[in-house]
């Protein structure tokens, strides 16, 4: 008698696999942004989301100043073409030390970058373009009227909305707010995120670091990966340790987590195995949306809510944890924080070697973008792509994102990559 086979994560084309984009859109619909905000000092606001617009109380630049080291003149004194004109240098305007002078025709002021333009001047002739002649300078007509001057308010005007509520404060935003003289910022409160690992095979480092494992045991690494991923965000962490594979323990842990946190993240126990209780527990305590996703790694993903607490049951395989975190958990965290933008840019790069892939699921292969001997940027995989090989994430500097329909990549084909590195 032939065995009637059930769908499994080995099947590239299960009929009921949900496309990642559809799952992401559904997830975004369900997200609720935290409503509470708090006032913090500027430096504390780093990595937080602005709860209110930042409105400039001043002009930037605050005063009209020189963009170069040179001589402030009135453009009416510029001769035409190669004709030279002699101007009398009255004084020096240093940055922070303006001169109290009103320029008259035939006069100039030595000026440094950032120095305030004296009254009567509108142009700076850079120092490299003048000839010195005692108390005088010689200029020609090569400087365009109005050049090398930064006008008061040309970057920001008083009353301008400089940053919108929903902006994530990164270094550039932090500096910009400082440039306005603002040191207290209203930001969304931090999310509280609880997380735990599930699995009878797991031994926590807290009790077993350096110890010999018994057959069938492994160290719990996912909880540390999640700790590290979450620590990059402005969230408060609640680490609930390792939970054994029983329905009672899983339900109790989820209940405890949901009582204290805005978001709960678990790993393991969401497949169809007989020791997989996470989905059942969520369904018992709240509402469960379970997705079998058309992605690899990361096919099983449990989402849900328990009271007001959002829940993610990530798969147990260590690489799947990272992929599903970046694809699903991170955008959810950002949205819950009230962040209006997420940065998930993909770039096209030439494949250096062929890449095996069967159609049916989007794949996040671990890749290395590098410059080849011809100076061209190419990408190759890190080698074997098993979802348990966390070392592949350490070797990689990008995900190679191969779309559902892709049936393999030939050398020289363009593939999409999502870099791990980013300037923020
Ligand atoms: P599961 O989703 O629970 O069936 O787990 C899938 C695979 O991931 C199994 O090989 C587990 O041993 C492994 N795994 C589950 N949880 C962890 C963890 N916290 N740390 C490392 N590996 C894990
Ligand atoms: Mg398990």
Q: Whose CA is nearest to atom 5 of ligand 1?
A: 316
272 and 390 within one domain: no
Nearest ligand for residue 272 CA: 1
Nearest ligand for residue 196 CA: 1
Q: How far apart are CA 296 and CA 299, in angstroms?
A: 6
Question: In angstroms, what CA-CA distances link 107 with 71, 98, 104, 401?
Answer: 10, 16, 6, 64
352 and 281 within one domain: no
pTM: 0.89
177 and 46 within one domain: yes
pLDDT in tens, 112-157: 999 999 999 999 999 999 999 999 999 999 999 999 999 999 999 9
Q: What is the CATH number of the domain that holds 410?
A: 2.40.340.10
Domain encompassing residue 51 = 39-60+155-188
Nearest ligand for residue 266 CA: 1
316 and 198 within one domain: yes
Q: What angle do CA 328, 333, 337 make, to 5 degrees?
A: 150
381 and 363 within one domain: yes
Which of 198, 199, 240, when mutated, tests ligand 1's pocket best, judged by the most ligand atoms within 8 Å of its CB? Answer: 199
Residue 422, pLDDT above cutoff 90: no
Measured in angstroms, how far is the CA atom of residue 317 from the centroid of ligand 1? 5
Measured in angstroms, how far is the CA atom of residue 275 from the centroid of ligand 2? 6
82 and 141 within one domain: yes
Q: How far apart are CA 314 and CA 387, in angstroms?
A: 13
Number of domains in the chain: 4
Residue 9, pLDDT above cutoff 90: no
The residues lining ligand 1, judged by C-beta closer than 6 Å to any ligand atom, are 197, 199, 201-202, 218, 220-223, 267-271, 273, 315-318
Residues with CB under 5 A from ligand 2 (ion): 199, 268-269, 316
Mean pLDDT, rounded, for 274-298: 89
Which of 9, 216, 218, 239, when mutated, tests ligand 1's pocket best, judged by the most ligand atoms within 8 Å of its CB? Answer: 218
pLDDT band at 8 (very low <50, low <70, confident <90, very high): low
Mean pLDDT, rounded, for 1-18: 68
């Amino acid at each position: 008698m032939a065995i009637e086979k059930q769908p499994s994560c080995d099947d590239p084309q299960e009929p009921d696999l949900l496309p990642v984009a559809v799952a992401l859109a559904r997830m975004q619909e369900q997200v609720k942004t935290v409503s509470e905000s708090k006032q913090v000092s500027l430096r504390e606001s780093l990595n937080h989301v602005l709860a209110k617009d930042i409105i400039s109380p001043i002009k930037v630049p605050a005063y009209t100043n020189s963009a170069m080291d040179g001589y402030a003149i009135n453009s009416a004194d510029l001769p035409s073409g190669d004709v030279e004109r002699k101007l009398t240098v009255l004084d020096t305007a240093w940055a922070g030390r303006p001169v109290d002078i009103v320029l008259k025709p035939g006069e100039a002021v030595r000026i440094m970058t950032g120095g305030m333009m004296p009254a009567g001047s509108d142009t700076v002739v850079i120092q490299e373009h003048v000839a010195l002649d005692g108390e005088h300078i010689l200029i020609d007509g090569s400087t365009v009227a109005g050049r090398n001057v930064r006008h008061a308010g040309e970057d920001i005007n008083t009353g301008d909305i400089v940053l919108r509520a929903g902006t994530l404060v990164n270094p550039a935003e932090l500096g910009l707010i400082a440039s306005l003289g603002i040191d207290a910022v209203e930001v969304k409160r931090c999310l509280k995120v609880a997380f735990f690992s599930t699995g009878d095979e797991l031994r926590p480092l807290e009790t077993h670091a350096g110890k010999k494992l018994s057959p069938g045991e492994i160290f719990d690494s996912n909880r540390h990966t999640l700790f590290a991923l979450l620590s990059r965000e402005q969230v408060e962490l609640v680490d609930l340790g390792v939970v054994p594979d029983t329905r009672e323990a899983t339900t109790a842990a989820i209940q405890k987590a949901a009582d204290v946190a805005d978001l709960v993240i678990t790993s393991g126990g969401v497949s169809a195995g007989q020791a997989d209780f996470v989905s059942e527990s969520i369904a018992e305590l709240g509402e469960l949306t379970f997705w079998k996703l058309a992605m690899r790694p990361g096919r099983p993903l449990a989402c849900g809510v328990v009271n007001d607490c959002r829940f993610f049951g990530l798969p147990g395989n260590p690489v799947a944890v990272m992929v599903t975190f970046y694809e699903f958990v991170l955008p959810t965290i950002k949205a819950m924080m009230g962040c209006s933008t997420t940065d998930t840019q993909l770039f096209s790069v030439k494949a250096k070697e062929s890449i095996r892939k069967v159609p049916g699921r989007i794949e996040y292969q671990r890749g290395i973008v590098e410059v080849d001997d011809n100076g061209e940027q190419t990408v190759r995989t890190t080698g074997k792509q098993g979802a348990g090989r966390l070392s592949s994430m350490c070797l990689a500097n990008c995900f190679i994102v191969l779309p559902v329909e892709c049936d393999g990549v030939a050398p020289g084909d363009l593939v999409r990559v999502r870099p791990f590195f980013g300037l923020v």
